[in-house]
Amino acid sequence: MLFFSVQGQNLGNVFKDLKERSENGEWFKMSGGVSTAFNFNHISGMPRRFDPFTWRLNANLNFDIAGISAPFSAVFSNGSSVYNLPKYSFYGISPTYKYITLHLGDRSMNFSPYTLSGHNFYGAGLELKPGNFRFSFMYGQLKRARAEDANSIQNFEPSYARKGWGFKTGYDNGKSKIGLILFNAADDPFSIPNPTQSINIQPAANAVLGLEAKHQFWKIMNLSVDFARSALTRNQNSFDIATSNYNTWQKFGGLIQPNASTGFHHAIKTSLGLNTKLGQFNLNHERIDPGYKTLGALFFNNDLENITASTSTSFLKKKLNLSANAGLQRNNLSGGSSNSSNRFIGALNAAYAASERLNLNLAISNFSTTNRMRAVTVPVIQVDSIILVQTNQSANLSVSYLAGKEKSNVLTGMFSYQQSNSIENDVINKDQTTTYYMGVLAFNKSLAAQKMNLSASLMGNYGIIPNIRLLTIAPSFTISKSMLEDKLNLSANASLSGVWSNGKNTNTILTLQSNTSYRLFDKNQLSLQLSWVDSKQNTVGSGLSEAFSEFMGGVTYGLNF
């Protein structure tokens, strides 16, 4: 009876909303923007790094059709012959009406950290939230096939085509929450024309069962549990074993057929939180079995156990805000590895508003985090591949001061430290540790009467890479001005970079950039970007040689609705 009552109320609201829209003539609305960019490149003195001409179209629109909200995004490009990138297109739409959301195209969904966690897919998804009930479903392609000899310039990893599906169902009333998740994915062994020669790339299959629960006690305490069991076949071509040794529960009801490469692993995280007048406090326990993996996430560490306590609070009349997370971490949970460690892990974030003019921020962490980075840093094209980097230690300090009577002048100082390793074929390259130190000092002056802005900065970057010590020092200056009742905006930037490798000056780079934008109508804008780079390289240790110069131009037109 309750279900029919809820549905009846929903239908009544639907017809009422449609009637109001019909009377007001608001059946269709559109907002967002579309932009197209054309880029040109000319280089002399070295092999071409970019195509002489590229184009790209972006669209981010939100349609409202009779109460159905449908955000739409799309990217189209002609690719790149220099980087062996074909023409590509990414597009997707997620219409929402009341408690129903449909995902079509290039989308991403999040079920839980250990099952499906923000992994992009090309396909379809559905989310239903009637009342306190929850239901989600997705099906699509998680990876495209990429042969071993493809994209050799970027050295991308080969991969089989991978498809997957998953669903999540549960109940959430704000105070109590419970959810059940099932995710399944498998590679197509025949999706690569020629068998790969890399022993690290094999067609995999995976099934994951997840359970999440949360409950609030007495308005001040909450308990949450996130559990997952994963059955991962690392190589579908591995020899078979007697499946009679596995029961229906272990075979996930037939979703996976175990062979010699199949492993069964668990991950669990529990958290107990307490909200008080002094702040929020949490006790957390996380354990991830050795070998645990889900094909619904790009990468995360396994074979570890964390026991941590976290808190967030404020002092000095909320001028000082602190959040901290600290505890112990251990690995080698099964005892089968020769390398085991027990270490202290911690993270601290502090923000202090010393006065109306002075602000300080500090962040320190030695938690291992995985970052997604584009595989090719090409500013004119978007690449459908990424590389993964694990950051092990990081520290960031920033100070800003507002000067002048109108507080229109800003002096900023920043320092950052980071130690990381690259991730390749799901393996952390611990022998390829990189350490970076970076400092920036910047000053910005605003001249409101002249509608002009001036800024200057000095950046220093020191990187420690295996067998290389790389130092970069780069001063820069920028000026911008608005004219013609703010319809015309002009800006210019000049920077000079000096690069030293293992103590020797190897590069001197002069960069000049300009940007001109003009608002044609209220919601139309035309922009022209120009840049010129002059680089001199010192490869013989005496004098500067092997100079090259590069000119890049771009025209962008944007239309907002």
Residue-wise pLDDT tens digits, 37-53: 999 988 887 777 677 88
Q: How far apart are CA 13 and CA 122, in angstroms?
A: 34
Instruction: Please report the pLDDT score of residue 5 as a whole number.
Output: 37
Any idea what DSSP says for residue 551? E
Q: pLDDT band for position 126 (50/70/90)?
A: very high
Of all residues in the chain, the percent with pLDDT exceeding 90 is 42
Instruction: Please report the pLDDT score of residue 139 as a whole number.
Output: 97
Amino acid at 132: N
pLDDT > 90? residue 196 = no
SS3 state of residue 10: helix
pLDDT, one tens digit per residue, over 429-442 is: 666 778 889 999 99
Q: Is 204 exposed, middle or buried (0-12, 13-18, 19+ CB in 10 A)?
A: buried
pLDDT > 50? residue 380 = no
Instruction: Please report the pLDDT score of residue 358 as a whole number.
Output: 94
Instruction: Please report the pLDDT score of residue 88 as a whole number.
Output: 58
Instruction: Please report the pLDDT score of residue 366 as a whole number.
Output: 83
Domains, the chain: 99-192+202-302 (2.40.160.100)
CA angle 88, 89, 93 (to 5 degrees): 165
pLDDT > 50? residue 532 = yes
User: pTM of the entire structure?
Assistant: 0.76
Q: How far apart are CA 92 and CA 62, in angstroms?
A: 12
SS3 state of residue 318: coil
**Distances from the Cα of 212 to the Cα of 33, 176, 304, angstroms:** 38, 11, 20
pLDDT > 70? residue 225 = yes
Q: Which residues contact 440 (CB under 8 A, 6 or more apart)?
A: 412, 413, 414, 415, 457, 458, 459, 460
pLDDT > 90? residue 81 = no
Instruction: Please report the pLDDT score of residue 159 as a whole number.
Output: 79
- Written as six digits, the tokens of 7 are 């549905």
How many Cα atoms sit within 13 Å of 393 on the Cβ side?
9
SS3 state of residue 9: helix
User: 454 or 65: whose pLDDT is higher?
Assistant: 454
